[in-house]
Structures are given as C-alpha cells and as structure tokens.
C-alpha cells in the first residue's frame, strides 16, 4: 500500500492527552497499539444495507475465499451487498475478479486521482473494456485530491488529475454508469470541472467531506452524498449538519474500508461489517427509526448502482 492510499480522506487529527506519569504512558501506549490491530466488535444487525464504497483487496480480500469471508461477515450484520472500488489498474482487476466470484460484490473501476499519471493509452483501453462489464456498476473513484501532491512524490499533480478526471467523466457518460467522486480539499475546482464537462446522470460524492455550502450545491445538482465513518467522528459537527440536510433520495452510506473506521473504533481496522455503526449515526442525526434509515440507504444504493439488474 502506498502512503497515498493510507488515510486518503481525512488526516487523523485526534489529539491525545499527554500522560502525566511516564511509566503509565508506556503501558498506555502499548495498550493503544494493541487496540489499533484489534477489529471492532460486530454491531447489532441492521438489515437492508449496502456498503456503497469499500476496497475489498485492501481489506485482505484478494481471492474467492477471503472475499467470501469478508462478505459473509458483512451479511451477518445486515450488509447484503458491497461496491468494491479500485485505486489503480492492479486494484481494478482485483475488484472485477471479486465482483465475478461473489454475487454480493459489485465493482467500480477508475484510476484514483493520485494515480492519474498512470492513465496512458493502455490503461484507457483496459478501463473502457472493464467499464462495459455488467458487474461494473460505477466509474470511480475519480476526482481531485489536492492533499497528497507535494506530500507524496508518487501523487499526480493537480493539472494531471484534472485531465484524468475529465476523461473519467466522459467515460461515465458514454457508458451510462454513475460517476463516483473522490474529493479531497478540491471543492471549487471539482464542482467547476463537473459543471464545465457536464455531469453524468448519476454522481456519487463518495466520503462526502464538504462544508454546508458544498453540500447544498451538490444537493441542488441532484448528486448523491455518501457518508463514511468520518460522519461519526467527534470533530465532525458540520458534516452531521450536512447529513441532516440531504433529501431522503440522495443519501448513501459507505465504509471506505479499510480506512475511516467509525467512532469509537477510529484507527482500528475497518471492514464492511462495521457499516451499521455509521448507518445508526445517520438515523440519529436525521431523527429516523434505524430500520427505516437502513432501508432508505440500501434502496438508494440499489437504485443508483442498478444492483438488481446485474
Ligand atoms: Zn476516496
Ligand atoms: Zn475509497
């Protein structure tokens, strides 16, 4: 995994209280390290959910058995289907394999904005071919990431990202599948490019992270706002306000696993089975019954990705 893949949405900005006794600090540190490797406990089942964005390969699902184990676990807590998303070409092949070997997995393919420099003729041809596969339900994740350029040498420069983004927008329109957007610290350029190129019929703002102005603009344009574990974080009051604003027909929930594990398990390994934690938070924020919320979230994912048709 490259550094551009780790915590690619939200830098972990949790502040830790300094321990007064240094001896105590060492054992607390060891305990914390242990906890970070420990998977969160299973949530109470919440039926009807779809994980709208995960990375099965990065969660350890790289063959039929490991993919099945992850999806069996998710299904036990009510997450019946997942969309597994590619970052690069190797990942895209893995995503497609997973979608072909287990009918609960669907794929999204694209080059992640940080990998935009890899979009050569061969990659274009292969992505076009993959995009036409019935198990591929979206073009993504594509978009703009202004956080990593300058921090990671391997991350594509903004100008390179813009060209690749425009190409992916065009592909989504030609192939008639939803566009799944990654946006990190690039709100303005991202919305401008979408407006200039013309949005595809369905646009999903994955791991929505914008402020209320951006949320309103996306809602007005008819985009889907997909909320990840970040919406449960202690410092995410504005994100929860955005989650409150979204009309019932435009809200999705995702894990973005293995990243962004929901509170109070932040920093521990994330998988699709952790989705009910975020779904329950959304029900709470929107003052809705959790079962009704899960049905709405699942129905929206099944509708936008046309899962029943595959
Ligand atoms: Zn992303
Ligand atoms: Zn992702």
Mean pLDDT estimate for the chain:
91
Structural domain count of the chain:
2
Q: Is 254 known to sit in a ligand binding site?
A: no
Render pLDDT for 232-291 as a digit per residue (tens, 0 to 9).
Answer: 999 999 999 999 999 999 999 999 999 999 999 999 999 999 999 999 999 999 999 999
Residue 90 sits in the same domain as residue 11: no
User: Residue 171 Cα, ligand 1 centroid: separation in angstroms?
Assistant: 19
Render pLDDT for 71-95 as a digit per residue (tens, 0 to 9).
Answer: 999 999 999 999 999 899 999 999 9
Q: Is 206 known to sit in a ligand binding site?
A: yes
Residue 165 sits in the same domain as residue 189: yes
**Both tokens assigned to 164:** 């690749």
Residue 17 sits in the same domain as residue 76: no
* Integer angstrom CA distances of residue 274 from 68, 76, 151: 16, 11, 30
User: Residue 107 Cα, ligand 1 centroid: separation in angstroms?
Assistant: 15
**Alpha carbons 235 and 196: distance in angstroms, whole number:** 33
Residue 6 sits in the same domain as residue 110: no
Task: State pTM to two decimals.
Answer: 0.90
Confidence at residue 137, expressed as pLDDT on a 0 to 100 scale? 98
User: Residue 230 Cα, ligand 1 centroid: separation in angstroms?
Assistant: 12
Supply the range of the domain harboring residue 14. 1-37
Residue 171 sits in the same domain as residue 195: yes
Cβ neighbours for 129, distance < 8 A, ≥ 6 positions apart = none
Residue 33 sits in the same domain as residue 52: no
**Alpha carbons 31 and 258: distance in angstroms, whole number:** 21
Confidence at residue 25, expressed as pLDDT on a 0 to 100 scale? 61
Quickly tell me which residue has 């060209």 as its tokens: 163
Confidence at residue 36, expressed as pLDDT on a 0 to 100 scale? 76
Q: What is the domain-level CATH number for residue 221?
A: 3.20.20.140
Q: Is 256 known to sit in a ligand binding site?
A: yes
Cβ neighbours for 109, distance < 8 A, ≥ 6 positions apart = 86, 92, 95, 96, 127, 130, 131, 136, 139, 140
User: Residue 21 Cα, ligand 2 centroid: separation in angstroms?
Assistant: 39
Quickly tell me which residue has 């957007």 as its tokens: 181
Residue 198 sits in the same domain as residue 86: yes
User: Residue 116 Cα, ligand 1 centroid: separation in angstroms?
Assistant: 13
Render pLDDT for 42-65 as a digit per residue (tens, 0 to 9).
Answer: 999 999 999 999 999 999 999 999
Query: Residue 11: pLDDT above 50?
Result: no
Query: Residue 2: pLDDT above 60?
Result: no
Confidence at residue 309, expressed as pLDDT on a 0 to 100 scale? 65
């Amino acid at each position: 995994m490259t550094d551009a893949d780790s915590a690619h949405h939200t830098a972990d900005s949790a502040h830790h209280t300094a321990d007064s006794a240094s001896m105590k600090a060492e054992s607390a540190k060891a305990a914390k390290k242990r906890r970070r490797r420990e998977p969160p406990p299973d949530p109470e089942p919440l039926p009807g959910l779809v994980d709208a964005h995960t990375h099965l390969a990065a969660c350890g699902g790289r063959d039929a058995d490991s993919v099945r184990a992850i999806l069996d676990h998710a299904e036990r807590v009510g997450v019946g289907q997942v969309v597994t998303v590619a970052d690069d070409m190797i990942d895209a092949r893995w995503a497609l394999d997973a979608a072909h070997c287990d009918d609960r997995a669907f794929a999204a393919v694209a080059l992640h904005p940080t990998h935009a420099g890899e979009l050569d003729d061969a990659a274009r041809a292969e992505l076009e071919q993959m995009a036409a596969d019935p198990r591929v339900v979206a073009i993504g994740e594509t978009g703009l990431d202004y956080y990593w350029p300058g921090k990671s040498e391997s991350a594509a420069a903004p100008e390179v990202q813009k060209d690749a983004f425009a190409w992916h927008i065009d592909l989504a329109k030609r192939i008639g599948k939803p566009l799944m957007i990654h946006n990190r610290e690039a709100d303005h350029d991202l919305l401008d490019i979408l407006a200039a190129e013309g949005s595809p019929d369905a646009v999903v703002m994955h791991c929505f992270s914008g402020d209320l102005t951006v949320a309103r603009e996306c809602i007005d344009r008819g985009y889907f706002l997909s909320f990840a574990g970040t919406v449960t974080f202690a410092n995410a009051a504005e994100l929860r306000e955005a989650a409150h604003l979204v009309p019932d027909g435009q809200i999705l929930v995702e894990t973005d696993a293995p990243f962004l594990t929901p509170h109070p398990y932040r920093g521990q390994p994330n998988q699709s089975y952790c989705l009910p934690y975020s779904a329950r938070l959304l029900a709470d924020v929107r003052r809705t019954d959790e079962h009704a919320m899960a049905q709405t979230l699942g129905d929206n994912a099944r509708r936008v990705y046309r899962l029943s048709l595959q």
